[in-house]
A and B are shown apart, each in its own frame.
Chain A
Amino acid sequence: MKSTKYKDPQPNVAPAKLNLWLFIVASSMLFAAVVSAFIVHRPDAQGRQAWTAFDLPIYFLYSTFIVIISSVTAYYAYKMAKQDELGANKYFLLGTLFLGVLFCLSQYMGWQQMVNLDLTFVNARPEDISASYVWVITLLHFVHILGGIGLIFATWIQAIRLNVHKKSMLLMSITHTYWHFVGLLWILLYLFLYFAQ
């Protein structure tokens, strides 16, 4: 019997895509929790809590620029796949992958800078607890970036196998959405840490 005889109602959105959006919501809640903890812990008007205010490593700013550029390349990778420009799609994917790795390196340099300032993950003085929060927030984001790099890599492999094109956009569009999410997340976290110090 052919499936045309009884056609199941089709969902409005691809299930995987909706699941991704729900994951984004859940993961935003995790960051909301950590950022709220930071806000609650910060000194109040009376300044009862000792708290070190320090300039964020300059590499974190570089990371922000890298992530913005990578969002642009991810967008073009998506657009090219949609127009069946398979060659360009692959190059933009590879470019995004490269920028993703570059972002990781830049974060590593940033952490190195913090260690050099004696702002380690385990605080040496009570007031350095502020640095511990910076570490937790950046590390949690880093884990999300690693997931994104994995997705881009998987998409790139599929693109080489000619599985990414106009009629097969699911993986590409998931990668595209997720990468924008982690990018936007970093920009927001950077701005937060910059102004909240």
Chain B
Amino acid sequence: MGTAALHADHHDHHGDHQHHKESFISKYVFSMDHKMISKQFLITGIIMGVIGMGMSMLFRLQLAWPDEQFGILEMLLGKWAVDGKLDPNFYMGLVTIHGTIMVFYVLTAGLSGTFSNLLIPLQVGARDMASPFMNMLSYWFFLASSIVLLSSVFIETGPASGGWTVYPPLSALEKAMPGSGLGMTLWLSAIALFIISSLLGGINYISTVLNMRTKGMSMNRMPLTIWAFFFTAILGVLSFPVLLGAALFLIFDRSFGTSFYLSDIYLEGVGALENIGGSPVLYQHLFWFLGHPEVYIILMPALGITSEVISTNARKPIFGYTAMIISLMGISFLSFIVWGHHMFITGMNPFLGSVFMILTLIIAVPSAVKAFNYLTTLWKGNLRFTPAMLFSIGLVSFFISGGLTGIYLGNAAMDIQLHDSYFVVAHFHLVMGSAAIFGMFAGIYHWFPRMYGRMMNKPLGYFHFWFTFVAAYLVFFPMHFMGLAGVPRRYYQFTLVKEFEVWMDVNVLITVAALVGGFAQLFFLFNFFYSIFKGKKSVQNPWQSNSLEWSAPVERIHGNWPGAIPEVYRGPYEYSRPDREEDFFPQYIADDNSPEVLVPEGETVVPAAKDPEEVESSVFFAAIKRVFGLS
């Protein structure tokens, strides 16, 4: 696959023999087809998500009923929950691994890995990624990394437990806590593998977007999903190497005895350790130089997916296409120069703090532009409340309510009170946790027909949405008040602190909501796995969307299109054009006379069957339009 020419020949060959059998290994395991790799990312991400969420339910039990004994905990965790009471060290481990899994494995690899892989080649009109081989490696490094991370839960000393940011010296000294032993070593190995996976993927995404677009697909005709994935990949390629640097220094300090982060440490009342001359704040600088772009790496793909889903289901052009791109660009740029707002209380020069504060507050501008554009796209649209649409609207809600508290936290003066409190937990769980996971759900419901050729069940999707949406607010909203009252995060048992006992009722409420929200995911899991095999067969273009991926045949083939790659004639959001009878005008249709799927000479493609329900609904909408004099 060295050159592009070879590449094209390979695929044409495939087009000729559509029934050519691939072996199980080459099709499902070591696949180089971007669609299969995206499914591998998605399913691995879902499994990691279930594990990460399950961990949060376990430690929520501890926070709500610290004196209760849960037989089920002892059954699950053995010596980590003797007599059904969670071990404090393991509690810290659960918090740490929950954070790590959710931030990196679910919302970075699971979200970006799935949808960048699926949509970039399909929406820009390419046969596959720039380098399918690197793409395959990217998944396998990710899987190896997941396995290494999970294995750390099963070792004698427990997993890494210094919080997902693993600040030294706590994480650097084996004696500091049990989790800083082998568990921490495994954590660092897992993250190193993860960084490699992420870089392999990111390089491919950028390269494909820049270099492999089909004829007519100029940059200003790309769907906003692609723009979002593009900027996300740029952030990843620029910031993950810095995390690698931070992790390398930490590995050297832990395993080789250097002192980049360590100095003058007294442990257990014994004199200073041998490590001298280092600076623990240096780690925070390096970590947050990745850490802050990382939150946008998580959020931006979700924002891109939302743009696409909202525009399609509002049957309106997205409001402010160019403004959306410029705001993504602004967020990407600013994300690199605001890392100091995580470090206001490290003894930073107050003048430097105020610089970081102003830059942080400026991010509110592009974010507000995006929120405004979502709302104005919804305004007076022909809304179709598919599950994907509901999840997208849910994202907008979380993005606004969680984003507002970011303005509080970005203030250097207020951060002194709010730092490391439940206010922070509430803020980031709403704005990057819930919002991003809702974007991911929106993407799954919207593109499931593209991935598996079948539809997901709608009523189950509605149940899933409402339970999750309400539960997420019930879990995270009360945490703001706890944080304002000074309740610190990561504490094991609040009944041991007189001051915080008054919050026990709230903790019970949060835990109950978390359990309900957690179990509501069973709707999704059942729906997802059942629909893969037994779902209703999808039509060619179930959402009547404009973008290029819906021109590829439902039957999924390596190379995406059986014939030539379709050309693109206009932007992706031309919905409800007054001069058109139908309310959408796909990018790949030249004018009213051209066929929907471009078929090469001498080949026949069975036209996709019209779904009676869809026909009915379009008749219904036409009737409504006539009644209101819109057509």
Contacts and interface: CB of A to CB of B under 8 A. Distances in A.
Interface stretch (A16-24, A100-108, A149-157): A16-24
Nearest to A135: B258
B249 interface: yes
Interface in B250-279: 252, 256-260, 263, 276-279
A22 B258 contact: no
A25 B258 contact: no
Given A10-B5, A41-B279, A29 B239 contact: yes
Contacts of B8: 3, 7-8, 10
B259 A19 contact: no
A127 interface: yes
Interface stretch (A79-87, A118-126, A178-186): A118-126
B215 A9 contact: yes
Interface string B212-253: 111100000000000000000000011111101110110010
B565 A8 contact: yes
Contact of A40 (B130, B285, B600, B601): B285
A70 B202 CA distance: 31
Interface stretch (B23-31, B165-173, B203-211, B358-366): B203-211
Contacts of A37: 245, 249, 260, 282, 285-286
B362 to A, nearest CB: 23
B67 interface: no
Interface string B1-35: 01111001101100110000000000000000000
Nearest to B281: A40
A15 B211 CA distance: 7
A56 interface: no
Interface centre among B134, B241, B248, B256 (most CB of A within 10 A): B241
Interface string A124-157: 0111110010001000100000000000000000
A22 B4 contact: no
Contact of B241 (A10, A15, A29, A136): A29
A33 interface: yes
B444 to A, nearest CB: 28
B289 interface: yes
Contacts of B277: 49-50, 123, 125-129
Contact of A26 (B204, B237, B259, B600): B237
A25 B199 CA distance: 11
Contact of A126 (B2, B208, B276, B289): B276
A136 B207 CA distance: 30
Contact of A41 (B206, B208, B282): B282
> What is the interface residue range for chain B against chain A?
35 or more
B629 interface: no
Nearest to A15: B130
A132 B131 contact: no
Interface residues of A, number: 45
B194 to A, nearest CB: 14
A50 B279 CA distance: 12
B3 A1 contact: no
A123 B277 CA distance: 9
Contacts of A7: 8, 564
Helix, strand, loop or mixed for chain A's interface?
helix
Interface in A5-55: 5-16, 18-19, 22-23, 25-27, 29-30, 32-34, 36-37, 40-41, 49-50
Contact of B214 (A9, A33, A132): A9
A132 B564 contact: no
A94 interface: no
Given A41-B282, A50-B277, A136 B257 contact: no
Contacts of A18: 130, 207, 210-211
Interface in B568-618: 600-603
B177 to A, nearest CB: 23
A12 B207 CA distance: 11
A15 B4 contact: yes
A196 B611 CA distance: 70
Nearest to A8: B8
B127 interface: yes
Given A15-B211, A30-B242, A129-B277, A122 B258 contact: yes
B563 interface: yes
B259 A123 contact: yes
Contacts of A126: 259, 263, 276-277
> What 9 A-B pairs have minimum CB-CB distances, sorted nearest first?
A6-B564, A126-B277, A33-B245, A15-B130, A30-B241, A129-B277, A29-B241, A33-B242, A126-B276
Given A33-B244, A40-B279, 11 more contacts: A1-B16, A18-B210, A19-B131, A26-B237, A29-B242, A37-B260, A40-B282, A122-B258, A125-B277, A126-B277, A136-B252
Interface of B: 2-5, 8-9, 11-12, 15-16, 127, 130-131, 134, 199, 202-204, 206-208, 210-215, 237-242, 244-246, 248-249, 252, 256-260, 263, 276-279, 282, 285-286, 289, 563-565, 600-603
Interface of A: 1, 3, 5-16, 18-19, 22-23, 25-27, 29-30, 32-34, 36-37, 40-41, 49-50, 121-123, 125-129, 132, 136, 140, 170-171
26 contacts: A1-B600, A1-B603, A8-B11, A9-B565, A10-B4, A10-B5, A13-B211, A15-B208, A18-B207, A19-B203, A22-B202, A22-B203, A22-B206, A25-B237, A26-B241, A30-B242, A33-B244, A37-B285, A41-B260, A49-B277, A123-B276, A128-B277, A132-B259, A136-B248, A136-B252, A171-B2
